[in-house]
Structure 1
Amino acid sequence: MADTLNTALNIPAVANLMADPARAKMLWTLIDGTMRPAGELAFAANVSPQSASAHLTKLVEGGLLLSEAQGRHRYFKIASTEAANLIENMASFGASIQAKTPRSPPLLKTMPSQFLHARTCYDHLAGDMAVKVLQAMLKSAWLVSEGQDFALTPLGKEKLAALDIEVQSETKGRRLFARSCVDLTQRRPHLAGVLGAALLDLYVRDGWILRTTQSRVVNITPKGHDAFKYILGVRD
């Protein structure tokens, strides 16, 4: 009981770290899993280098970011999968609140169509295509729903093995195998967890998608369009 109470007492500290607009922008800039220098994060947050340094120090000390020295510069990245999931979930919850406010501009109208269609979220695919992939895997009985999680069926194991994807259904530490993650823009679930990361590795490795520099947006190649349709059963 005491451990549970101590954990709950950490909520205000974490919430305070993410409450500052500049720190929130820095975290969102890094949600694609990249490592970026302090100067770039200062520009993204529209703050001075000195202010950015103070913010980044707090985020590192709070366990949301990791830092690494490379020559004369320090680079930063999201500290863990748990931290990335927290940031994405907070953004998704914030979007749902905004949608209930009539005077606020709809979130979807402020985002480019490519961002809505396919992008990365830390180590897995997000956007409309990711939502369709999950629905196709459920419809084809590769996965079965278990609350917020998914279990791999024997057919799913066979299909993934044919794609040269070897994943264990057991979780790695606190990392969930296949978790339902409500998509920030589509308001429907896409696939996160160990399996979501393995699928993104497949998409990149086999040339289904091309990642873009300095952006979470990914481009689906002609090969990818065919693969998503004929291998995974995704229908546009």
Structure 2
Amino acid sequence: MNDKLSSTANLLGDPGRAAILLRLMSGLALPAGELAVTANVAPQTASEHLAKLVEGRLLNVERQGRHRYYRLAGAEVADAVEALLVLTARPRVSDAGAASLRPQVGSLGYARTCYGHLAGWLSVQIVKKLEERGMINPYNAKAYSVAPSGRQWFEAIGVGVPSSAAAQKTLAVRCLDWTERRHHLAGTLGCAIYKRFREFGWLIPERATRVVRVTLEGRTQISKLLGIAVG
């Protein structure tokens, strides 16, 4: 167990490999060439990094013709990367009063993708409003429970809420946001809300980064829907 932990830590400790993992937090499958640019390394070096990450079970590779596309091996990898970001972003004792890292990280802290769901200030505000209205409530350290009023709200915007017991574990996951230091909504519902808001044309993800832009229509409609003052 200790050897495996040490091996994984070594994989994550290289700046180039860390950059690749962060880029793939978008949930997309990307080619080696694009990831080489992201990591600012030569294609051969990127290939070596990718081979190690695949061998370490942090990435999966998909072959389509002559091309190979890489993605995170699963949500647990994204969770681990996000947890490390929380640790590395912890304030020094002198910074203990700081509530958010958003001023330092700019657009990335406002709204970004986190393995298929929305993260950042906007996502934390969505959770805050849903909690204030009693639609979701912290069930335990890892999940939210969805109230009947919450189920109606989700279904009204076209997001189905599975009722089977098997689906509950991953339905509404609490994910600690590393820039806001508060929880945002992950899991099935988190991914579904992000997808739905994109379908409405309210959110547009940037191709080359994890940043998500809020459209003018999105600012108006999200404000109407949840009472969030979207800047």
TM range (shorter): 0.7 to 0.9
2:92 to 100, 103, 106: 100
TM-score (norm 2): 0.87
2:127 to 134, 137, 141: 134
Secondary structure of 1:31 counterpart: helix
8 Å contact from structure 1 (residues 175, 194) kept in 2: no
Cα distance in 2 for residues equivalent to 1:53 and 1:176: 33
- Is residue 111 from structure 1 mapped to residue 133 from structure 2 by the alignment? no
Cα distance in 2 for residues equivalent to 1:166 and 1:225: 23
8 Å contact from structure 2 (residues 102, 110) kept in 1: no
- Is residue 193 from structure 1 mapped to residue 187 from structure 2 by the alignment? yes
> Cα deviation per residue 1:173-223 (whole Å; 9 max; x = unaligned)?
796221221212111211111111111111111112112211211111222
1:60 to 54, 57, 61: 54
Q: What does residue 91 of structure 1 align with?
A: 85
8 Å contact from structure 2 (residues 101, 180) kept in 1: no
Question: Which deviates the most, 199-208 or 173-182?
Answer: 173-182
- Is residue 145 from structure 1 mapped to residue 138 from structure 2 by the alignment? yes
> Cα deviation per residue 1:76-101 (whole Å; 9 max; x = unaligned)?
111211111111111121111xx217
Secondary structure of 1:136 counterpart: helix
5+ unaligned residues in a row in structure 2: which ranges? none
Q: Tell me how many residue pairs correspond in the alignment.
A: 225
> Cα deviation per residue 1:144-163 (whole Å; 9 max; x = unaligned)?
11122100001001111111
Secondary structure of 1:87 counterpart: helix
Secondary structure of 2:226 counterpart: coil
Cα distance in 2 for residues equivalent to 1:173 and 1:136: 24
Sort the Cα spacing of 1:171 and 1:18 in 2 relative to 1 into closer, same or farther, 3 A: farther
8 Å contact from structure 2 (residues 101, 109) kept in 1: no
- Is residue 227 from structure 1 mapped to residue 221 from structure 2 by the alignment? yes
Cα distance in 2 for residues equivalent to 1:175 and 1:85: 15
8 Å contact from structure 1 (residues 167, 198) kept in 2: no
Cα distance in 2 for residues equivalent to 1:174 and 1:136: 21
Question: Which deviates the most, 203-212 or 172-181?
Answer: 172-181
Cα distance in 2 for residues equivalent to 1:72 and 1:172: 39
TM-score (norm 1): 0.85
Q: In angstroms, what is the RMSD of aligned CA positions?
A: 2.4
Secondary structure of 1:30 counterpart: helix
Cα distance in 2 for residues equivalent to 1:72 and 1:10: 32
Letter matched to residue 209 of structure 1: L
Question: Which deviates the most, 38-47 or 148-157?
Answer: 38-47
Cα distance in 2 for residues equivalent to 1:42 and 1:172: 39
